């Protein structure tokens, strides 16, 4: 017992000796790690750059100020006062990294050229952007670091996720909305998806179209987009080749909701689903084939 008491006493002495700045080591480690992450979000390395210098330079200029702001804001470590006057303290942990994207949203630009889209995304008045734009000829232009938040999804939702921009990478395909997607463009998209899915461990069912997450507002990518080919390469879900008959008590609306669709406007959700999975019938008719296809995708939910 005596030994135990003296051990406790010694412990108290040791702790109190080092208690002037007890977290100085973790503070140091936090800072070192943060510097590495600041470098990571500042990286402007692109896989391929084939734009005119002029446009690239314009982009660099427009990004600099914003980037400084975000680099500074991730360095902030001040205690804050919460509602009701409750004060928080700061102690740096050493166990952290950057938040990463968990969805990929595919769009078509509804523009006439890659240059037109890049110009729009470098214009502060337009308030829209994406991480990547892929040209008709397969050119891939990266416009934003993957860790930063682009403005491509708008007021979209998927399941209970209501801020898709915060959790996704946006990929825009140069396409006017009425033309087929070129083979070169799709090949570049597949290459990009391969890299991103692996790098961020993105679940295959989280590779979606803009219209899937915003069925009342958006139609992109159009019914000409090859979702089946993407799924065959491991990106996105696809229905069974031979559909099984949905049970009699199978309910379409909750099933679509469980898949992720907002069903506030059920017709819009059915149309978005068919544009994606039954592109030869891009309408909101709920026939047997549609119900069985919804059932097939519903059964594949993790």
CB of 107 to Zn ion, least distance (A): 3
User: 10 Å Cβ neighbour count for 272?
Assistant: 27
The CA distance from 171 to 207, in Å, is 11
**Which pair of tokens denotes residue 227?**
């979702």
Using a 10 angstrom Cβ sphere, with 0-12 exposed, 13-18 middle and 19 or more buried, the burial of residue 24 is: exposed
- Is 220 a binding residue for Zn ion by CB under 5 A? The answer is yes
Query: Between 56 and 156, whose beta carbon lies closer to Zn ion?
Result: 156
The CA distance from 69 to 80, in Å, is 19
- Is 131 a binding residue for Zn ion by CB under 5 A? The answer is no
Residues 1-30 within binding reach of Zn ion (CB under 5 A): none
Residues 173-192 within binding reach of Zn ion (CB under 5 A): none
- Is 275 a binding residue for Zn ion by CB under 5 A? The answer is no
Residue 230 Cα distances to 95, 180, 194, 261, angstroms: 36, 15, 11, 20
Binding segment toward Zn ion, per CB under 5 A, in 26-34, 104-112, 173-181, 189-197: 104-112
Beta bridge partners of 132: 142, 171
Size of the site for Zn ion (CB under 5 A): 3
Sign (positive/negative) of CA torsion 106, 111, 114, 119? Answer: negative
Binding segment toward Zn ion, per CB under 5 A, in 94-102, 106-114, 186-194, 237-245: 106-114
Query: Between 219 and 290, whose beta carbon lies closer to Zn ion?
Result: 219
Active site residues: 172
The CA distance from 174 to 138, in Å, is 10
Binding segment toward Zn ion, per CB under 5 A, in 51-59, 76-84, 105-113, 140-148: 105-113
Backbone angles phi, psi at 262, to 5 degrees: -75, 130
- Is 276 a binding residue for Zn ion by CB under 5 A? The answer is no
CB of 220 to Zn ion, least distance (A): 4
Contact call for residues 156 and 168 (beta carbons, < 8 A): no
Binding segment toward Zn ion, per CB under 5 A, in 31-39, 218-226, 248-256, 258-266: 218-226
User: 10 Å Cβ neighbour count for 230?
Assistant: 20
Residue from 51, 101, 107, 212 touching Zn ion (CB under 5 A): that is 107
The CA distance from 205 to 154, in Å, is 20
Query: Between 210 and 274, whose beta carbon lies closer to Zn ion?
Result: 210
- The residue count for the chain: 302
Query: Between 209 and 291, whose beta carbon lies closer to Zn ion?
Result: 209
- Is 210 a binding residue for Zn ion by CB under 5 A? The answer is yes
> What's 161's DSSP letter?
B
Query: Between 103 and 298, whose beta carbon lies closer to Zn ion?
Result: 103
CB of 224 to Zn ion, least distance (A): 15
Q: Which parts of this chain interact with Zn ion (CB under 5 A)?
A: 107, 210, 220
């Amino acid at each position: 017992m005596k030994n135990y008491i003296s051990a406790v006493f010694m412990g108290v002495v040791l702790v109190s000796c080092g208690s002037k700045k007890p977290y100085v080591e973790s503070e140091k480690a936090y800072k070192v790690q943060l510097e590495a992450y600041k470098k990571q979000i500042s990286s402007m390395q692109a896989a391929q750059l084939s734009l005119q210098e002029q446009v690239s330079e314009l982009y660099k200029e427009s990004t600099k100020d914003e980037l400084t702001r975000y680099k500074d804001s991730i360095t902030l470590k001040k205690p804050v006062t919460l509602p009701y006057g409750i004060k928080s303290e700061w102690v740096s942990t050493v166990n952290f990294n950057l938040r990463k994207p968990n969805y990929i949203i595919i769009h078509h630009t509804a523009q006439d050229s890659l240059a037109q889209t890049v110009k729009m995304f470098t214009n502060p008045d337009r308030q829209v952007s994406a991480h990547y734009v892929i040209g008709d000829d397969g050119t891939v232009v990266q416009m934003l670091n993957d860790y930063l938040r682009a403005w491509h999804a708008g007021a979209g939702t998927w399941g209970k996720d209501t801020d898709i921009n915060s959790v996704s990478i946006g990929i825009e395909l140069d396409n006017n909305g009425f033309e087929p997607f070129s083979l070169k463009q799709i090949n570049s998209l597949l290459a990009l998806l391969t890299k991103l899915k692996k790098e961020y461990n993105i679940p295959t069912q989280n590779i979606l179209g803009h219209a899937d997450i915003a069925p009342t507002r958006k139609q992109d990518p159009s019914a000409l987009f090859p979702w089946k080919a993407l799924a065959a390469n491991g990106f996105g879900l696809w229905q069974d080749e031979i559909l099984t008959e949905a049970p009699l008590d199978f309910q379409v609306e909750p099933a679509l909701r469980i898949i992720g669709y907002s069903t506030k406007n059920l017709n819009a959700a059915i149309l978005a689903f068919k544009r994606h999975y039954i592109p030869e019938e891009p309408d909101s008719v709920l026939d047997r084939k549609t119900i069985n296809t919804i059932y097939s995708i519903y059964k594949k939910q993790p």
